[in-house]
Amino acid sequence: MPVHYHATLLLLTLLLTFSLFIWNRWRYDLVSLATLLFLSTVGVVPFSEAFLGFSHPAVITVVAVLIISKGIQNSGVLDYLSASLAKNKFGVSQQLIFLCGITAFLSAFINNIGALAVILPLVMRAAKQQNRSPSLFLMPVAFSSLLGGLTTLIGTPPNIIVSAFREESSGMTFRLFDYSFAGLPTAILGIVFLAFIGWRFLPVRKDPDKSFGAFDVGDYTTELEIPEESEMIGKTFVDLQNIADGELVLLVRANKEGKRLSTRKSVKFKAKDILVIEGPPEALKTVLDKTDLQIVSNEELEKKIKDKEAHLIEEGVLLPESRLIGRMPLAKTLRKRYEVALLAVARQGNKIRQRFNQMRLNTGDVLLLRGEKDAVAEMMRETGCLPLESRDIQVGLSKNSYSAIIIFLLSIGFVLLGIFPPQIAFSIGAVLMVAMEIVPVRSVYANVDWSIIVLLGSLLPVGRALETSGAAQMIVESLLQVGGSLGPEWVLALLLITVMFLSDLVNNAAAAALAAPIALRVASSLGVSSDPFLMAVAIGASCAFLTPIGHQSNTLVMGPGGYRFTDYWRLGLPLEILIVLVSLPTILYFWPF
């Protein structure tokens, strides 16, 4: 088939792929793999190259870095570094400089989510102790985890991907700290903006009633059952709303067989009716205190929990690597395996119009759990659920801590001295982490975000196809028509802004994998060095600040911070404008044409 046909087909397929990413109905790794398989079957990607992406050095490096990052987390080093956060009594700006600074530093050497997961519970604890809203801190800290990733090769997957494309083009990779020349000034000024100006754009959302739900995570959804001989039999939802001062919403009403019933407010309740209601924590607590409605749970477990002095109610947010993502809440499994009761679920920005046994959990969902302290801790640890308030912090450094530091520094040393390429150096570090049981063998695979690996392995061949099919040249010609007459500086700015906007809508690794070959073609067409254009792709792909779906760090803080979709662009838009103004001259200074 003619090249033009393949290029047009590829561009149309990518347009559909981006639409599916934005729609978010199916997981991005599934969409990416489906895109690769389709392009392979129609001949755009040769069969022999379809799965070469999974053996690509960039993919191997990402896997190894994720394992090393988990080893650093497990060692207690990060807890030791950040334990003083809860003792800090400074003002908001001073507190944010410290919080954002240490988060950015950690994310320069471990993955963004790993850094944020360490800091998030401590931020929540510090906010509570100082009687400040966590909404003032969480989004700036999440954004700082992205800014920190700009500064090193291993800080974020887009940097590794861009370096791999540079190697394919010129035979040379970017070194570990090459990204620091443009990334470090950008990160520093971004953090200063967040700490002294940006937090003032954020809403102050705080739950005045801390007795049920420690922080404002938005409205909770919970299931209540009307018991036999209940005082609520024959009454309506209007009566229930009056008890809660009108703050409840009836999402689902079903009978004991699971059949859905009318949710009209005038319909009278019957015994064993199941009500799925949504409301703020204090409203739910009022209903439980003033009525005989029961949370749908296991009676034997309820009795067992009530008999224990150590029982607690705790909130936990689902991390991106949680085993519960994409699955139903599995309330029965939690009760049977961990003796933990699922009381409610909060999903900021979206109403959950389903019963627990029909709903699928997402990254950033907040679960309200009740159970014995050790049981809740075990359940959260094994399922990838991060506690928002209580967290045991290691006071000193252990033997594993020193071992982890030595292994990590050894891996970095191999790269800096040019002894081994990154994929070999960090793979050695990952193997040593497992061999010394810093990362348990049984949890090695669980600690790798395989959705990112599948996405990278799928889209790297697609990125190559952009070049070989002529699609990249078609895109470049469009870019040059817009900014080519103004000079390469304007084309660089246009590319940076375009990739930055793209990463607000799709996964940043996907944005980098698809934009890097275009950057190479732009540089070739202009007859200039490709380095500034690749740096622009790396920075743009990692600056997803306008939406909660642009990066998993953004999604993770949405529930605990009580943020709405529009809160992100209120802070993210001025930050992205600042990044463009700072990064362009620094790129051109350190990586001239």
Q: What is the pLDDT of residues 141-151, one digit of tens each?
A: 999 999 999 99
Q: DSSP secondary structure string, 225-283? A: E--TT-TTTT--HHHHHHHTTT--EEEEEE-TT--B----TTSPP-TT-EEEEEE-HHH
Average pLDDT value for the chain: 84
What is the share, in percent, of the chain residues with pLDDT greater than 90?
Answer: 38
Domains of the chain, by residue range, sit at 3-50+77-204+449-590, 220-387
pTM (2 d.p.): 0.80
DSSP category for residue 112: H
Residue 214 has pLDDT above 60, yes or no: no
Band of pLDDT at residue 61, cut at 50, 70 and 90: very high
d(CA 348, CA 352): 10
Phi, psi (deg, nearest 5) at residue 324: -90, -10
Q: What is the pLDDT of residue 425?
A: 94
- 3-class DSSP assignment, residue 361: strand
Does residue 40 register a pLDDT over 90? Answer: yes
Task: Supply the CATH classification number for the domain 220-387.
Answer: 3.30.70.1450
Tell me: pLDDT of 571 over 50.
Answer: yes
More confident residue, 313 or 15: 15
pLDDT band at 88 (very low <50, low <70, confident <90, very high): low
**Interhelix angle for 3-23 vs 471-483, to 10°?**
80
Q: Given this model, what pLDDT does residue 6 score?
A: 85
Residue 128 has pLDDT above 60, yes or no: yes
Q: What's the pLDDT at 206?
A: 56
Q: Which residue has the tokens 């007795």?
A: 211
Q: Does 452 have pLDDT greater than 60?
A: yes
Per-residue model confidence as pLDDT tens digits over 454-501: 989 999 999 989 888 888 888 888 877 776 677 899 999 999 999 999
Tokens of 11: 């561009």
User: CA nearest 267: which of 232, 308, 304, 313?
Assistant: 232
pLDDT value, residue 85: 54
Q: Tell me: the pLDDT tens digits for 369-382?
A: 877 777 888 888 88
Q: Which residues pair with 311 in a beta bridge?
A: 372
Partners of 250 in beta bridges: 277
What tokens were used for 391? 């967290």
Contact call for residues 290 and 303 (beta carbons, < 8 A): no
Least confident range from 52-56, 137-141, 304-308, 550-554: namely: 304-308
Q: Report CA 283 to chain centroid distance, whole Å.
A: 30
Residue 224 has pLDDT above 60, yes or no: yes
